[in-house]
Amino acid sequence: MNTSADRWVELFVDCLIELKKSNVDVQLRKAKRVKLDTDGSLCRGYWDDTNMERPSLFYAINGSILQWGPYFVHEFAHFCQWKERSSIWKADRKFTASDQDSIINNRPISEDRMLAFIDASCDIELDAEKRAVRLFKKYKVPINIDKYIRGANAYVFFHRYASQYRNWYKQTPPDRIPDLHKLVKPTFYRGYKRIPAPLLDAFLKYYPPRMNPKVK
């Protein structure tokens, strides 16, 4: 008898097969979080194509696939961008880990460079979210698509907010805060340049910005 997890398992296994075909170093951890190589912070998982010949995907798979499956598929979508050498992926490659570090750790960076980086970050994350939703629909996995897209919208807009926040969330990501879901649409926006006013107010509450943002 099929269970609600079966379609998720099918999608997960197919993702793993594709990753292995492309010589991706897949590192799965039975833990709640994995540690980023760059700064030691913890996250659910991440894609790293710094080594173009042997990229990596790190992911924490603790608990039910119904919980961690959607976020794994998001990281798989980043692999798809890399594999296709998509224009969005190429645009994002123009920036470095140093650019990101300057923004989220409030180190001096030119406003033009910062905004260009954020544009690229929003674009690549939005594209990954759309790819993930297409896979959910293709495999007919049991998931509330409207709820997922609301979380995705909050997450993409949060990247835009980074120009003010100059930090990164330490505990709860924006896509996991129900109050933020209420402030965005259950469909993707045509543009993410301007954060909706109610959502911006909520970001200011949950993620207070730095008092003295450093801009060259």
Spell out a b/e string for 111-126, using b for 16 or more CB atoms within 10 Å of the CB, else e.
eeebeebbbbbbbbbb
Domain segments of the chain: what residues? 6-206
CA distances from 115 to 38, 94, 104, 120 (A): 22, 13, 13, 9
- pLDDT digit string, tens, across residues 151-175: 999 999 999 999 999 998 887 899 9
CB atoms under 10 Å from CB of 168, counted, come to: 16
Q: Which two tokens stand for residue 208?
A: 């207070």
- pLDDT digit string, tens, across residues 64-118: 999 999 999 999 999 999 999 999 999 999 999 899 999 999 999 999 999 999 9
Alpha helices in the chain, H assignment, sequence order: 6-21, 65-84, 87-92, 97-104, 111-139, 145-165, 178-181, 197-206
**What average pLDDT does the chain have?**
93
Q: Residue 146: pLDDT above 90?
A: yes
Q: Residue 1: pLDDT above 60?
A: no
